[in-house]
């Protein structure tokens, strides 16, 4: 049974990676939708609570722009694939401050969440440290509460561990790798 699970998981990762490669046309629609809604979302931040959302003050809202949308793949035992989700970085003076979640259900986009300032900073750091790689998305494993940045260099896709993954690995006294392959991810999932 475990071999079947490993095979199915590996097959899913390959399918997701191929889907991500062809996402650029959709990304422009996601970004356009996010741009239309950015100021509305920022204005909902309660006064004097800007720091909790990654901003120093309300003046930064005026100069906030969006980075490139990152498809967000949530892997859980009850995966619902009826919609797609992107995390769009909100950027101020070149720094990622928060993430705007945009979800596509059928043919409609909607903002489903906003925040994750710590994850936004973590993603930017990983991107800056891997400028030679193409960023394809974010992979989250709910069962081990771990996030990976999906990257590729040429045809090879890799998974960069983000802070949540590093914390999980540390809690299990495992050796941290710089990058993970699909088979490495399967092994990591078996350590939960």
* Percent composition of the chain: helix, strand, coil (DSSP 3-state, to 5): 40, 30, 25
| pTM (predicted TM-score) | 0.81
Q: How far apart are CA 14 and CA 37, in angstroms?
A: 33
| Paired tokens of 155 | 């045809």
The sign of the CA dihedral 25, 105, 103, 86 is negative
What are the residue boundaries of the structural domains of the chain, listed by start?
Answer: 2-189
Q: How far apart are CA 124 and CA 140, in angstroms?
A: 16
List beta partners, residue 85. Answer: 72, 103
| Paired tokens of 131 | 């400028």
pLDDT tens for the chain, 192 residues: list them: 555 555 455 545 554 544 444 444 556 789 999 999 999 999 999 999 999 999 999 999 999 999 999 999 887 665 555 578 999 999 999 999 999 999 998 888 999 989 899 999 999 999 999 999 999 999 999 888 899 999 998 888 999 999 999 999 999 999 999 999 998 998 888 877
* Residue ranges with strand state E in the chain: 65-66, 70-75, 83-92, 95-105, 108-115, 134-141, 146-153, 156-161
Instruction: Give the β-pairing of 134-141 and 95-105.
Output: unpaired
The answer as to CATH 1.10.3470 being correct for domain 2-189 is no
């Amino acid at each position: 049974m475990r071999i079947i699970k490993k095979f199915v998981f590996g097959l899913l990762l390959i399918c997701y990676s191929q889907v991500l490669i062809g996402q650029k046309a959709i990304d422009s629609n996601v970004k356009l939708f996010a741009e239309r809604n950015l100021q509305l979302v920022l204005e909902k931040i309660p006064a004097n609570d800007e720091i909790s959302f990654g901003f120093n003050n309300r003046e930064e809202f005026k100069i906030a722009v969006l980075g490139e949308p990152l498809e967000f793949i949530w892997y859980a035992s009850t995966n619902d694939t009826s919609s797609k989700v992107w995390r769009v970085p909100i950027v101020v003076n070149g720094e990622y401050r928060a993430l705007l979640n945009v979800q596509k259900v059928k043919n409609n986009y909607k903002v489903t969440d906003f925040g994750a300032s710590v994850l936004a900073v973590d993603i930017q750091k990983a991107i800056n440290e891997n400028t030679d790689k193409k960023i394809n998305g974010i992979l989250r494993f709910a069962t081990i509460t771990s996030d990976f940045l999906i990257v590729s260099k040429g045809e090879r896709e890799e998974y960069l561990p983000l802070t949540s993954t590093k914390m999980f690995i540390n809690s299990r006294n495992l050796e941290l790798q710089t990058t993970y392959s699909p088979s490495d991810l399967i092994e990591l999932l078996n350590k939960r």
